[in-house]
Amino acid sequence: MTNKTAVAQRTERVVLRAEAVWKSYDDGAIRVLNDVDFAAVAGQTVALCGPSGCGKSTLLHLLGGLDAPDRGRVCINRKELNHSSNMLHMLRHEVGFVFQLHNLIPDLTLEENCLIPTVAAGIDRKTARARLQQLAERTGLSHRLGHRIQKLSGGERQRTALCRALMNRPKILLADEPTGSLDERTSAVVFDLLLEMVATEGLTLVMATHDRGLAERCDRLVEMHDGRIIESRTE
């Protein structure tokens, strides 16, 4: 295999790419990302590490289409995120989000929370329920489907958030400090589950975390500082 072919094959497998991305807030007063290049290949788990305010979350938001860069471009599966309908399609079918706070709707049940993305995507009820049943079994939440969010423990809530993120079978999972609000033991359990789900679903995971222990369990660790990627190493 020539070098050219190897590069071409690697390029083909890239599912998530940010090219020369800049982002600032308050009319440029706060510069968060400075000329960032990032790529993740299919099935890879990537940890974004760095101190608070270094731009990890902002990069995740740009990669998921929740926000637009000031300059540069973001591509998911080679399609550039450049207009709202495109972003909406990505949010519905290509990308799933898990946040530090579970961000579930407290008045709804676990089941109803998980079905929300399927309502947005117009997936029929039967298919959605079957998918939920499958995910609930794998995350150990089958017995909690009818329970309201207030009745769930922190770990269960985060597992519910994971189920919700995976309902529409995304190919990319973006996680912003997914275990940041959990105690050490629960954090380990949830992260194990996250990695297991990523493996079984064949997902690409990009995760922002402060936890070096968790980061080192990923395929790749990307170090950020002051809005720049300063180091990227494969474990």
Partner 1 sequence: MIFFKLILTNLRRHRIRTLISIAGIAFSVAAMLTIVTVLQGAIGMFSGILSSDSEIIVFERNVSDLFFSNVPAGAVQDMAGWPMVRNADPVLFGIVSSEDHPIITCFGVTAADARIRKATWMQGDRANFAQHDDDVVLGERAAEFLSATLGSQVQIGHGTFHVIGIVKTANGFEDGGVFMPLASAQTFFHKEGTSSVVTIKLRNKDDATAFKQLVKVKYKNLIALEDQEFTRSYSQFKILKATAWAVGGCGLLLGGLGVANTMIMSVFTRIREIAILRVSGFSNPQIAAMIFGESALVSILGAAAGLSIGTCFLWLLKLIPALHGYVDVSIQPAVVGIVIVLAFLTGVAGAFYPALYAMRIRAVEALRFE
Footprint on this chain of partner 1 (rule: CB under 8 A): 61, 66-67, 84, 88, 91-92, 97, 99, 103-105, 107-108, 112, 115-117, 119-121, 125, 164, 168
DSSP lists the bridge partners of residue 14 as 41
Q: For residue 138, is it left (φ>0), alpha (ψ between -120 and 50) or beta?
A: alpha
Q: Which distant-in-sequence residues (6+ apart) come within 8 Å of 124 by Cβ? A: none
**Cβ 121 to partner 1, closest distance in Å?**
6
Output the 3-class SS for 12-81. HHEEEEEEEEEEEECCCCEEEEEEEEEEEECCCEEEEECCCCCCHHHHHHHHCCCCCCCEEEEEECCEEC
Structure-token pair, residue 211: 């936890």
Separation of alpha carbons 73 and 157, rounded Å: 34
**Cβ 199 to partner 1, closest distance in Å?**
24
**Cβ 2 to partner 1, closest distance in Å?**
42
Q: Is 218 helix (H, G, I), strand (E, B) or coil?
A: coil
Pick 41 or 59: Cβ nearer partner 1: 59
Pick 78 or 125: Cβ nearer partner 1: 125
**Cβ 117 to partner 1, closest distance in Å?**
4
**Cβ 25 to partner 1, closest distance in Å?**
10
Separation of alpha carbons 118 and 123, rounded Å: 5
Separation of alpha carbons 18 and 28, rounded Å: 20
Q: CB of 161 within 8 A of CB of 194?
A: no
Pick 66 or 188: Cβ nearer partner 1: 66
**Cβ 33 to partner 1, closest distance in Å?**
13
Pick 41 or 113: Cβ nearer partner 1: 113
Structure-token pair, residue 26: 């308050």
Pick 41 or 194: Cβ nearer partner 1: 194
Pick 167 or 218: Cβ nearer partner 1: 167
Pick 41 or 69: Cβ nearer partner 1: 69
